[in-house]
Structure formats: structure tokens, C-alpha cells
Chain A
Amino acid sequence: MSASFAILVSGSPYTSQAHLSAQSFIEALYQEGQEVSRVFFYSDAVYVANNLQSPPNDEPNWHLRWKELAAKYEFKLQACVSVSLKRGLLSAEEAELNELNQFNVSAPFDISGLGEWAESSINGDRVVHFA
């Protein structure tokens, strides 16, 4: 039986190598027949959940790359709720709860509590952290 991997990303999408490294690692895992249960974004990594980011065409769009990778392998993309709200990243639901009239996070990115991350630990997933 292959182990399930839980990926923690905490580095900022545009000032660290965390997202490139995490995505390359996930590709390699699936090529080896392994599985990823979830990718959990924490600290400045949650900025990648912003669906308004519009880099030039010839530069990487980390948001889009996560979407494509998650669709290809069917794992969850979860951004931590407390750090996301602080940084102005809100889903439609969170925007409504906080009485704000705009939102910038939508599926497949999900705004999740730290409890979701704790679940990985409880399930005994192997955790790999990209900072």
C-alpha cells in the first residue's frame, strides 16, 4: 500500500521557490505511483489562492499551475482560513460572513481551518513542507 502525502506550503508564491519545488515534487510522486491527500497553504503561501493574479503570459502563473495540477491528480487545495482572511483572501462565503462585497478565492481552492491540516497528521500522512 502506498502512503499518502500531505504537502504543506508556506513560502510566498513570488518571493520563494516553494511553489515550484512543491509542484515538481508532486509530479514526481505521481510518476512513482504515490498519492497526495491535500496541499495545505499556510503563511504567505496563501497568496497563491488569489484568482485575480495576472502575471505576463511568458511568466509562471502559480495559481493556474496549482489548478491544473489539482485537476490532473484530483487532490485538495486548501488555504488556511485565519491567515487568508488576514491577508485579504476571501471566498464568496467568507466575504458574506465578513460583510465584504468582493471575494477572490474560488474552487478548486478551498478556505479551510487548521483542523483540516491536523487531520493529515491524525491520518498518519507523510508530511512534506515547502517553505
Chain B
Amino acid sequence: MTTLFILNKPPYQSEQTKEALDMALSLAAFDSRVALLFAGDGVWNLVEDQAPKQQGMKEFTRLYKGLDLYDIEELYVEQTALENYQLTEENLMIPIQSVHCDAEFIQRFAQVICL
């Protein structure tokens, strides 16, 4: 049984992405299976060379590079969102599978949480 977290907000505009990630990490720490989907504006979480410290923010997105430590290995990015923002794999900080977020994709998960 896998819980999919949909991260569809940009990283620093609100606390929502960080809070969703915290919840995902804690489920994973308790041996629940967790998957992450970066969709819509959420793809900006994955872009390399972020400098939030210039605005006094914490660079929590570094955590994406260490998700294997939490046994979170199912990572997806929405293909359409990458295209909309003209981003390619080279712009992203981790290797990640791009997917089409249709019903067939969502139905693979027992639970879906989007804060």
C-alpha cells in the first residue's frame, strides 16, 4: 500500500510543500511506502541552484537528494508541467521519472494526499 503525496506548489511561496514533505518523511520513517509526485508549479522544487538563503529562507529542497535514506524511491514529475515551464532533466537536481498524471497513474496508489 503506497501513499502518493502530490507536491504542486512552488517551494518557498508558502509552508505547504515543506509540510507535505515532512508528513511524507514521517510516514516513511514508520515504514509506510511513500511516493512523491511533483506537479504543476511544484516542479520548481526540483530546479538546481536555489538560493533561498538570500531571503532568509531554509533550503529544505536539499532533502530531495537524500530521499533514498528514507527509503523513498518512487519519485515522479509531471511531464506536462516540465513542458509548460520549458524545463528539461538537465535543470533538475535529481534523476526522476516523468509521467502523465491521468486516472490510470493515480489509481496505482492506495492513498493520495495533496495539502
Give me the interface of A with B, judged by CB distance under 8 Å.
8, 10, 42-43, 82-83, 86, 113-115, 117-119, 121-122, 124, 127, 129, 131
Whether B23 lies near A42 (C-beta < 8 A) is: yes
Contact of B31 among A42, A83, A122, A129 (CB under 8 A): A122
Secondary structure at chain A's binding surface: helix, strand, loop or mixed? helix
Contact of B115 among A10, A113, A117, A118 (CB under 8 A): A10
Number of interface residues of B (CB under 8 A): 17
Whether A115 lies near B16 (C-beta < 8 A) is: no
- B113 contacts A by Cβ under 8 Å: yes
Whether A43 lies near B111 (C-beta < 8 A) is: no
Give me the interface of B with A, judged by CB distance under 8 Å.
1, 3, 15-16, 19, 22-23, 26-27, 29-32, 111, 113-115
Whether A43 lies near B30 (C-beta < 8 A) is: no
In whole angstroms, what is the CA distance A8 to B27 when docked? 14
Nearest CB of A to B30, in Å: 4
Whether A121 lies near B3 (C-beta < 8 A) is: yes
Nearest CB of B to A111, in Å: 15
**11 additional A-B residue pairs with CB within 8 Å, beyond A115-B29, A131-B115:** A42-B23, A42-B115, A43-B15, A43-B19, A43-B115, A82-B22, A114-B22, A121-B30, A127-B113, A129-B114, A131-B114
